[in-house]
Amino acid sequence: MQTTEVFGVSLPLSVACFLFQFVTYHITCGFFAILDYYKLLPNYKLHNSDHKTYSQLLPRVVFNQVVFYLPSFILLQYLGVAFCSFEPKLSVWLFVADYLFYSFLQEIIFYSGHRFLLHSKWGFQLLGHELHHTTKGSVAVSQHYMAPIDYLIEIVITNMLPFFFMKKTNIYFELFVITLNTVTGPWDHSGYKYPVGESSFAHSMHHLRSSCSFGGSAAFTDWILKTAYYFYGYSNLPKIKESSNH
């Protein structure tokens, strides 16, 4: 397997990519944790309904990432699917086209698994999705707070399976799409509103109501299949008891 040096240590490309997105994820989540702890942007906080704190959620998150996510990076490099090489070179247009195709596949895979498996009558408890729903979408790090099978479906399969359907890309593209999810996932689970987009509001609506907005950050599947919160007549988050733990 091709390697690269990270601070003088030779690592497989897959491990180096995992570490980059791992650090990015925890910097992002740490940033939101600081905002929450010091209440720095209260006017932008949609809700604060989680009763588990950042420090309480963190151990399971790190466990999932190291035990399940890291091996998936290594496996894809071993199979020659992704995280293998700095080649081939991609033009800007090809990079954009590959990104759109990857995002399309990722959204379909996520929505299908999330709605039809994890939110099925039998799957919610059996596959462990109920654990993720003990969080309410107001603590960024909770994105990766899941039971093992749930984590494999929502994170590992969702992010890795699209590479099997794509022609050969390079490490720059692969690191870009994986790291982008590393930022948008905590964004969607942070409970903050932003000047651009409404994915955080939609995902908060999903966590608080459970019956709508099953898609990821792109969420075009919710629009096509009419499962976005606004198709149900929802316009406001339900009233919940605010937590004072953050």
- Averaged pLDDT score across all residues of the chain: 94
Residues contacting residue 167 through CB under 8 Å, at least 6 positions apart:
none
Query: What gap in Å lies between CA 84 and CA 80, rounded to an integer?
Result: 6
Using pLDDT thresholds of 50, 70 and 90, give the confidence band for residue 245.
Answer: low
- Residue 9's beta-bridge partner residues? 6
Angle at 154 (CA atoms; ends 216, 15), nearest 5 degrees: 110
Instruction: Give percent of the chain above pLDDT 70.
Output: 98
Query: What gap in Å lies between CA 235 and CA 107, rounded to an integer?
Result: 23
Query: What gap in Å lies between CA 33 and CA 240, rounded to an integer?
Result: 21
Once rounded to an integer, what is the mean pLDDT over residues 146-173?
Answer: 97
- Residue 45's beta-bridge partner residues? 192
Once rounded to an integer, what is the mean pLDDT over residues 210-227?
Answer: 92
User: Which of 74-78, 103-107, 233-237 has the weakest average pLDDT?
Assistant: 233-237
Using pLDDT thresholds of 50, 70 and 90, give the confidence band for residue 13.
Answer: very high
Using pLDDT thresholds of 50, 70 and 90, give the confidence band for residue 130.
Answer: very high
Q: How far is CA 49 from CA 41, 180, 224, 238, in A?
A: 16, 26, 30, 11
Using pLDDT thresholds of 50, 70 and 90, give the confidence band for residue 239.
Answer: confident
3-class SS at 214? coil
> For residue 50, what pLDDT is reported?
92
